[in-house]
């Protein structure tokens, strides 16, 4: 990589970082704030559940009552604490498969949304599901910690933005020192040999 390329990347990172801190960054769909490039999934992707997990989760949710596709995705995200966020590309094909197996039927509700509910055969299948619930099986302690860390990072960004917008020069200097020290301490965590090992 040439010196010019390195300098350009450094300037680009500083520019994007300032736009993000000041709230001027825009996401792919034009939203302002934290949706800038590089922020989505910056802590890595969530767990990938198998088809069987999604199938069981849909049956378990519909056993509680009729839902449309968006409700199913929202419920799975909420019940897993944000760890498991199945996409429409995995939920809707599974719903179609369950309909083909006569376990689920759909009706069009007011507003044109399709609502899904279990058939008698589907309720029988839901009763045979093993515990724990699929969303609990997908969520483990490590993934929950990742979600908590992600939330803390966004809280720090929000606090830094407040300093940028409302602070004076002395406040900005103090914030810079705090963030610099925090970054250094985070790197030292990886180099700390004193942490207990399992």
Specify the DSSP class assigned to residue 180.
Answer: H
pLDDT of residue 176: 94
The structure's pTM equals 0.51
pLDDT of 77: 87
Is 45 in a helix, a strand, or coil? Answer: coil
pLDDT digit of tens for each residue in the chain (198 aa)?
Answer: 444 333 444 444 444 454 555 455 444 444 434 444 444 455 454 445 444 488 999 999 999 999 999 999 999 988 887 778 888 999 999 999 999 999 999 998 777 789 999 999 999 999 998 777 888 766 654 466 777 787 888 899 999 999 999 999 999 999 999 999 998 988 888 777 555 554
CATH 1.10.10.10 domain locations along the chain:
51-138
What element of type H or E holds 117? strand 114-118
List the structure tokens of 109.
């509700």
Query: Does residue 52 contact residue 91 with C-beta atoms inside 8 Å?
Result: no
Pick the CATH number of 51-138 from 3.10.20.600, 2.30.110.10, 3.10.580.10, 1.10.10.10: 1.10.10.10
Contacts of 60 (CB under 8 A, 6+ apart): 126, 129, 133, 134
């Amino acid at each position: 990589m040439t010196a010019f390329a390195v300098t350009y990347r450094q300037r680009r990172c500083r520019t994007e970082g300032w736009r993000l801190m000041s709230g001027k960054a825009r996401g792919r769909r034009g939203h302002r704030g934290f949706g800038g490039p590089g922020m989505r999934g910056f802590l890595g992707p969530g767990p990938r559940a198998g088809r069987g997990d999604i199938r069981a989760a849909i049956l378990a949710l519909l056993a509680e009552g009729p839902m449309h596709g968006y409700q199913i995705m929202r419920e799975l995200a909420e019940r897993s604490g944000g760890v498991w966020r199945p996409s429409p590309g995995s939920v809707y094909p599974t719903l179609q498969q369950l309909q083909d197996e006569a376990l689920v039927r759909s009706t069009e509700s007011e507003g044109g949304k399709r609502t899904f509910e279990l058939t008698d055969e589907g309720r029988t299948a839901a009763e045979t599901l093993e515990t724990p619930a699929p969303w609990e099986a997908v969520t483990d302690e490590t993934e929950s910690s990742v979600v908590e860390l992600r939330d803390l990072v966004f809280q720090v960004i929000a606090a830094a933005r407040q300093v940028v917008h409302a602070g004076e020069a002395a406040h900005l200097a103090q914030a810079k020192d705090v963030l610099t020290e925090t970054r250094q301490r985070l790197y030292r965590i990886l180099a700390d040999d004193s942490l207990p090992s399992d």
